[in-house]
Structure 1
Amino acid sequence: MDIAALPTKGERTRAHIVATAASLFWKRNFHGVSVDLVADTAGVNKATVYRYFADKRDLALAVVRYNGAVTLEVLFASTFDRFSEPQDRLAAIYRQAYLIHRDMHGESGDIYGCPIVGLALELGQEMPEIRSEAQATFDQVEAHFIQIAKDAIAARAVTGDSHTLGRTLMQLLHGALASARVAADPGRILDAGRASLALTGYPDTSILPQEIPA
């Protein structure tokens, strides 16, 4: 093991503060969370937060980057590592998204939607750098969906333009998360997953069940 590659105590503390703020901003939104609350929830003092972040806006930017990295790893990178067929990748993406929101609903009785979109909509006008970070993540999400579309077209499961289909698949995921949030119903995510499978030429949507038991 390369000891020099291990995170320092300061890096671990900073990462812990960011993860704590990410959870709070997701559940309560940016303006509903104070630096005091972030510090208390993280188990550090307020001065420690300001040691790593100039202000709450600086912390919000770190949170958007964190949310983007987590989303890309959990929903896409790990899925693409495990599966090669386009229908299996789509099913895995939607299954994981559903499970995250199902568990969230079980714990809180509510659903909070996409944390990246939430902050981008709340802060995008006053903090254009937030919007830029969110868009950078969504560009990578779209690239993954375009690859799925290319593979489906190459397999002759569907015809059309891979970029148009990939963007449509991304918009379906966005819509699914928004719909699930408004209805407090994680099942809406599976509905969108089945629609995505059909769009890519895989009408047998039984690969995604109606509900996944806890």
Structure 2
Amino acid sequence: MTKGERTRQHIIEKTAPLFNKKGFDGTSLSDLTETTGLTKGALYGNFADKDEIALEAFKYSIQKVKEVARAKVAKADTCKKQLFALFDFYGEYVFDPPIPGGCPMLNMAIEADDHRTAMRKVVTKELMDTISFITSLIENGIKAGEFKKDTKSSEIAYTLFCSIEGALMFARVEKSDEPMKIIIRHCKNLINQISK
């Protein structure tokens, strides 16, 4: 890794929690320089602008979340157990996320919806990748004979993920893990219902 690549990586790693906690507009240039210990010139010598830093910080945050989630899922030996491991990951994730500040996808989706529309395509791709991942776990379970053949894998994936993201939002605002516990029980019950 070159010195320039190391500097870029340093900026991304340091600013990811900042953007995740404060959002794009809430993060000032002085926040970026203070967090990274670099000057404005050093920041913009490595990135075109604040938008590019935010985009790369978001991608880094999502990658960290995926790494932790997939590591937990990989330890399970059946599709059903893998789904349960994913739900349990989100249960722990509520107040102990891999990147401080909560769910980067949820946080950025709120900004990308109306305000930071340039980020919408990137956020949408990550949302769809997550749905595809859950769908593939269900479809693999159907093929393995764990789940009923008439299971609508995509519909269930949307239901599971949207429920979990909603519970994340509610739990973080309420400062209680109770909403997430309720939704995780609901998600596991739903998987039990499609199990053979």
Fold-level similarity (TM above 0.5)? yes
Q: 1:37 aligns with which of 31, 41, 44?
A: 31
Equivalent residues in 2 for 1:82-97 (5 A)?
Answer: 82-97=75-90
TM-score computed with the length of structure 2 as normaliser = 0.83
Change in Cα spacing, 1:23 to 1:89, as seen in structure 2 (3 Å) is same
Percent identity between the aligned chains? Answer: 26
Equivalent residues in 2 for 1:54-203 (5 A)?
Answer: 54-75=48-69, 77-103=70-96, 112-153=101-142, 154-156=145-147, 159-201=150-192
User: Displacement, 1:149?
Assistant: 2.0
Cα distance in 1, alignment partners of residues 42 and 171 from structure 2? 36
| 1:97 counterpart letter in structure 2 | Y
Change in Cα spacing, 1:119 to 1:103, as seen in structure 2 (3 Å) is closer
User: Displacement, 1:152?
Assistant: 4.1
| 1:36 counterpart letter in structure 2 | S
- 1:149-200: CA deviation from partner (whole Å, max 9, x where unpaired): 2244431368521111112111122112111122112343232222111101
| 1:15 lines up with 2:9 in the alignment | yes
Match of 1:26 in 2: 20
Cα distance in 2, alignment partners of residues 35 and 12 from structure 1? 20
Match of 2:41 in 1: 47
User: Displacement, 1:49?
Assistant: 1.0
User: Displacement, 1:130?
Assistant: 0.8
Cα distance in 1, alignment partners of residues 7 and 172 from structure 2? 31
| 1:78 counterpart letter in structure 2 | A
- Give secondary structure in 2 for the equivalent of 1:201: helix
- Give secondary structure in 2 for the equivalent of 1:36: helix
| 1:101 counterpart letter in structure 2 | V
RMSD: 2.4
Which stretch shows the higher mean deviation, 95-104 or 190-199? 95-104
- Stretches of structure 2 that go unaligned for 5 or more consecutive residues are none
Which stretch shows the higher mean deviation, 77-86 or 151-160? 151-160
Q: Aligned pairs, how many?
A: 190
Change in Cα spacing, 1:90 to 1:187, as seen in structure 2 (3 Å) is farther
